[in-house]
Amino acid sequence: MTVGAFISAQDYRDYSGYGSSSTNEIAELRKALVAGNDVNDPGVAPGVGFPLRVESLEATMKNLTYEMDEIKLFKTIPKIPATNTVEEFNRLLAYGQGGSTRFNLGFMGEGDLPEEEDSTYERVTMLIKYLGVTGRVTHVANTIRAATGNVIALETMNKTMDLLKNNENALFFGDSTLIPEQFDGLQKLITDGAPDNVIDLRGAPLSENALNDMLLRIRQNFGTATDAYFATGAFADLAKQVYDRQRFAYSPAPGVLGATVTAFQGQHGRINLHDHVFIQEGPASPATGLGKTDKRPNVPSITVAPAAAANAASQFIAADDGTYIYQVVAGNRFGLSAPVDSAGVAVVAGEQVTFTIQDNGQSPTYYEIYRSTIGGAASTARLMVRVARTGATQVITDNNDDIPGTSIGFVLMQNQRSFSWAQLLPMTRIPLAAIDTSIRWAQVLYGGVKMYTPAKNIVVKNVGRAAGSL
């Protein structure tokens, strides 16, 4: 071998090279230790280096679920302190004459005594409700060197997010008639307090025209809308309506197609637009029960009667003619039962469907009603409505008031004059007594929604999707 600063092909003249080694040389080479890329231990074998491999586990947890950015309403809702488990407030309903704004009242002749007017007041009561979740980490799990660091800190954060999710959902959809332990959310408070402010789109997509009319309705009730919350799909359809009005060179930026719609300017104000992943477009029923089996309701029974001629309240039209399958899920504060399917029932325009639900035990407090597409299988059923349980057996009527697969939206005057979150206790972590070799704690939040002016807010129901939407 040449010794020097240069290497040439002659330096390799005694090497046999790849593919020409002897049998003995290849056998010696195969004795080399192999690390491999097995995920599971292949067992004990000569030359396998799996037992020596250290797992390469990243210290950062990858989040596949919602994050703090999705908690939109609770972060922005006006908050006030509560001092008791029963909170009261007064409403001024009218200055006089039933709140009439007619201009020809109050005039008098020279020297007359003006007419006496009586103001109208109302006292409203709101009950504080309690949310909570328990966390538990074994002493051993807290002792080991975990890849993500302190396990208790990680689980405390996870329980915080779970609690915020439950509270965020209740701010919109809480209903004490369905779950007595739950506070009433915006949908219930607005629907009960101002039924005329429930706008029904009957499956039509969200549009600029509809939003402008909603702002008008709030303005007619002496309010000014500030914020709107809809499902993500509803806002996606709203953005599509402005695509053909754009100039490619200017909007939203040179060379960029599309638009992000963040606000709407109507004739009666400007509202901020918030898409919300917790507002769903008619979810499917759970494939299995949710919650602990010894606490959630048992699967109910359903019997559907043939469709019968309805009164004028029926909203089944010719386009709805067909056969439907209904599903029922029983629920309480601990969870949901598995669904039960009905037989198919044929419906034509002007008819109504009645079905009987039998409570099969374990304390359900409400039912979720799902309905299939026209002629579809039970797997196509989507949430239609939730109804309170009224007895062991109850009859429910479907007039097609609620369209499966649609979503609900909210246009709000979001300030402290309209509604607020009354908080008896902010989110608090309470250590629990040690009853085994685990560290236990409870995280709790006490409060409820005070709705001062329901008529200055709107619930939008049966929000559909634009034709051709995915």
pLDDT tens track for 194-237: 999 999 999 999 999 999 999 999 999 999 999 999 999 999 99
Strands 269-275 and 301-304, sheet pairing: unpaired
Q: Which fold has domain 77-99+118-281+407-470?
A: Major capsid protein gp5 fold (3.30.2400)
Q: Is residue 1 scored above 50 in pLDDT?
A: no
Other C-beta atoms closer than 10 Å to the C-beta of 129 total 22
Other C-beta atoms closer than 10 Å to the C-beta of 469 total 12
Q: Which residue has the higher pLDDT, 240 or 180?
A: 180
**How many whole angstroms separate alpha carbon 386 and alpha carbon 280?**
14
Return the pLDDT at 57. 65
Return the pLDDT at 67. 78
Q: Is residue 386 scored above 90 in pLDDT?
A: yes
How does the average pLDDT of the chain come out, rounded?
88
Q: Is residue 69 scored above 90 in pLDDT?
A: no
Backbone phi, then psi, for 455, in 5-degree steps?
-70, -10
Taking residues 420-439, what's their average pLDDT?
94
**How many whole angstroms separate alpha carbon 7 and alpha carbon 4?**
8
Question: Alpha carbon of 376 to those of 202, 327, 416, 435: distances in Å?
Answer: 20, 12, 46, 52
Instruction: Report pLDDT digits (tens) over 303-358.
Output: 999 988 877 889 999 999 999 999 999 999 999 999 999 999 999 999 999 999 99
Cis omega (within 30 of 0) for bond into 180: no
Return the pLDDT at 64. 64
Instruction: Report pLDDT digits (tens) over 123-143.
Output: 999 999 999 999 999 999 888
Q: Is residue 259 scored above 70 in pLDDT?
A: yes
CB-based contacts of 418, cutoff 8 Å, min separation 6: 223, 412, 451, 452, 453, 456, 457
Question: Alpha carbon of 150 to those of 57, 66, 109, 139: distances in Å?
Answer: 16, 22, 81, 12
Residues of the chain with CATH 3.30.2400.10: 77-99+118-281+407-470
Return the pLDDT at 411. 98
Backbone phi, then psi, for 287, in 5-degree steps?
-65, -35
Q: Is residue 101 scored above 70 in pLDDT?
A: no
In terms of Cα–Cα distance, which of 466, 411, 460 is closest to 205?
466
Poorest-pLDDT segment among 90-99, 111-120, 425-434: 90-99
Token representation of residue 333: 């504060």
Return the pLDDT at 65. 65
Return the pLDDT at 103. 65
In terms of Cα–Cα distance, which of 343, 356, 445, 452 is closest to 398?
356
Q: Which residue has the higher pLDDT, 250 or 470?
A: 470
The answer to whether the beta carbons of residues 393 and 356 sit under 8 Å apart is: yes
Q: Is residue 368 scored above 60 in pLDDT?
A: yes
